[in-house]
Amino acid sequence: MRKGIFLLIIIVSELLITHVYSTELILNDSISLQKGQVSSFDPRDAYHANHILMVKQLYEGLTDIDENGTVIPTLASSWETNNGKTWTFYLRPDIYFAPSQCVQSKQSRRVVADDVLFTFERLLEPASKSLGVSYFLNIDGAKAFHEGTTKTITGITVKADDTLRFSLQSPDYGFPNRLSLSYVGISSRKADHCMQKKTYPHPLGTGPFILSEYIPNKSIKLQRNTEYWGYRGNTHLPMTDMITVSLTADDNNALAQFRSGKVDFLDLTLPLERQIADMKFPFTPIIESAPWGQLNYLMFNLETLPDKNLRRAISASIDRSMLQRILGSQGQVTDSIYPPALFPDLAHIPPPPFINQSVKITSNQKPLRLIAFDDVLSRAIVEQVARDLKRIGLTVNIQAVPFPVLVDRLNKKDYDMLQLYWGPLYTDIRHFIVPFLTNSFPPDGNNFNHYSNPTVDQLVRSSESLENANIKNIFSTLQELLLADAPMAPLYFGNQVRISNGKFKMPLHPLGYRIYKLAAPSDQTIEKQP
């Protein structure tokens, strides 16, 4: 669940075709994709960064989030609502699923409203264990359909091939934002019978790329979807013909490839950032940095640490100025919960005064088990936390473990404190509270420590009936409640730090997405999003 290293090799041939460069873009995601692995390309499984990264290249939803953090139409051309409760979406007429042996004729590959209905039926069927289920239970009939008590989702109505209506149980003005989630990347009903066969496991979406090859533990190849509908200005997207993700996990090799010119982009982790500080390159490297919305925090086991005053004391005792020295350009420390990269107005709401009041532990508290990621930055952070807590009388035993082990300990609740992050998947502020809602208990969501506060639940529900301009006071109150209950201790928001050799460019995204369809040689213009 960590931010990984992405290596991009882009080889430009001499052949130019209608101003589109014939290119190959090769990525070596040496931490995220190798250690986390991509075990599925199904949108229903897209619950963490590795899966989302791939699904976003292969599938599209009715909406998406652009590089400015704004919700935009994608497969939908437009939408409308009068009350936030009934939403009508109009589909583009010229969208087709990628060419496939599953559906032969192009007309049969055309995306219609029934495919959108089918996508929600797949997500919400009783057998589905997707964490995406909880995001759409506000649709009329969704819960009953998921529980198997009805055969249809009553709140989704196909009005015509290009028109679809959603009816919600309660108003939700963030609904178009929610539809950008990878969980509802639109799938083809006509191709489903073929896609279920193990002999043809390839995903089939409308995205800018098609899965060409997947060799576990070795590589992922994505080929340009020549029928992709998208343009940026006058340029037909994507701007590259092939992407190869090389699944290796050797940082030193990654850096060597970058220095030799075989790699054009390299995401900088803390160790790599330290290595390049005094390193000479045969070219002038360009370092780019941008904040993103990933909140890194310590999650408390509410069963082994039931005293909220103790949890608040732990959070208040963390020396965040020292953490900032450790982080450097890798992130920005915080004692609040809203990321400045996405919600600048809310991010500067000060935490309540009691959060910063240090407390000396006088009880005989047993040593705390802190489970952490095993990378250099994570270990440095938790070691500093352990020193800080020692000053107030708490002993911390750190166990830095690989990602699969951390997930196992998380699921078994075998920890007192656990290093975790929440990276929002879309830019509605309500989504940032999802890990703290009662209806987000696993398997229906990401509330892993089963924190529950009815007032928090009610405030989020009440905010859904309001336009975003009218919810600042609600979310100020929500922050105060969450920090008072202390189900977690906020630490920092991550930054994206990337070095390139200047040959190619690709926009950074506030949600940390890789917009591969916009990767282009430096002499090719990437027009701004209109």
- Measured distance CA(463)–CA(85) in Å, rounded: 13
pLDDT of residue 18: 27
Q: Where in the chain is the domain with CATH 3.40.190.10?
A: 1-58+207-285+501-530
Q: 370, 397 in Cβ contact below 8 A?
A: yes
Q: Which two tokens stand for residue 431?
A: 């989504």
Q: 190, 119 in Cβ contact below 8 A?
A: no
- Taking domain 1-58+207-285+501-530, whether its CATH number is 1.25.40.10 is answered by no
Strand 242-246 to strand 20-27: parallel, antiparallel, or no bridges (unpaired)? Answer: parallel
Q: Would you tell me which CATH number, out of the four given (3.90.76.10, 3.40.605.10, 2.40.400.10, 3.40.50.150), belongs to the domain 60-196?
A: 3.90.76.10
Q: CA-CA distances (angstroms) from residue 508 to 22, 178, 340, 362, 515?
A: 23, 21, 16, 48, 8
Q: Where in the chain is the domain with CATH 3.90.76.10?
A: 60-196
**Residue appearing with tokens 């004692």:** 335
Q: 447, 436 in Cβ contact below 8 A?
A: yes
Q: Which two tokens stand for residue 323?
A: 């953490």
pLDDT of residue 243: 81
- Measured distance CA(188)–CA(109) in Å, rounded: 8
Note if the bond before 443 is cis, omega within 30 degrees. yes
pLDDT of residue 363: 64
DSSP 49-70: HHHHHHHHHH---SEEE-TTS-
Model pTM score: 0.81
| CA-angle at 47, arms to 97 and 180, nearest 5° | 50
Q: 395, 367 in Cβ contact below 8 A?
A: yes
353-358, Cβ contacts within 8 angstroms, sequence gap of 24 or more: 354/312, 354/484, 355/312, 355/315, 355/316, 355/483, 356/316, 357/316, 358/313, 358/316, 358/317, 358/392
Q: Where in the chain is the domain with CATH 3.10.105.10?
A: 293-494
pLDDT of residue 5: 34
Tell me the three state secondary structure of residue 308.
Answer: helix
Tell me the three state secondary structure of residue 313.
Answer: helix
Q: How many CA atoms lie within 13 A of 485 on its CB side?
A: 19
- For the chain, 530 residues long, the average pLDDT of each consecutive 10-residue run is 36 27 49 53 83 91 92 97 95 92 84 98 94 92 97 98 97 93 94 63 87 83 92 89 74 82 82 90 92 93 94 92 95 91 82 65 82 94 96 94 92 96 86 89 86 96 79 90 95 92 86 86 75
Cα-Cα-Cα-Cα dihedral of 147, 152, 154, 159, to 10°? 150
- Find the farthest-apart pair of alpha carbons in the chain and give their distance in angstroms, rounded: 74
Sign of CA dihedral 209, 212, 217, 218: negative
Fold of 293-494: Dipeptide-binding Protein; domain 3 (3.10.105)
pLDDT of residue 23: 57
pLDDT of residue 93: 93
pLDDT of residue 165: 98
Element (H, E) at 195: helix 192-195
Name 224's bridge partners.
Answer: 209
